[in-house]
Amino acid sequence: MTEQRIPQGGLPRPRPKLAPINAATTTTKHEERDLLGRYRIWYTKEDRYLRPMQIGPAGIYVVGNFCDLVLVETERNPWY
């Protein structure tokens, strides 16, 4: 508790305890296909410890008549 967090009287600012957060992380798209032919698609980003974290809900898609993916169901985030 002897470290001063606010510089006073012209003292240099102390170094931060944690590494700086890189806000420009890339978003990664993940796709899984089950035996029924459905696709589960979700997106992740890395947190400050480089662990992947899910961004938003996952979507369940099926292949439509014109070979495009059609949203059937939306899964909630796993932490709800």
Reported as a single tens digit per residue, the pLDDT across 6-16 is 666 777 777 77
CB 40 within 8 A of CB 20: no
* pTM for this entry: 0.63
Amino acid 74: pLDDT: 93
54 occurs within a structural domain: yes
Amino acid 41: pLDDT: 95
60 occurs within a structural domain: yes
**How many distinct structural domains can be found in the chain?**
1
- In the predicted model, residues of the chain with pLDDT beneath 50 are none
Q: In the chain, what is the greatest distance between 2 CA atoms, to the nearest angstrom?
A: 72
Amino acid 23: pLDDT: 60
Written as six digits, the tokens of 9 are: 């009287």
21 occurs within a structural domain: no
Amino acid 14: pLDDT: 72
9 occurs within a structural domain: no
- Domain containing residue 48: 28-75
Amino acid 39: pLDDT: 96
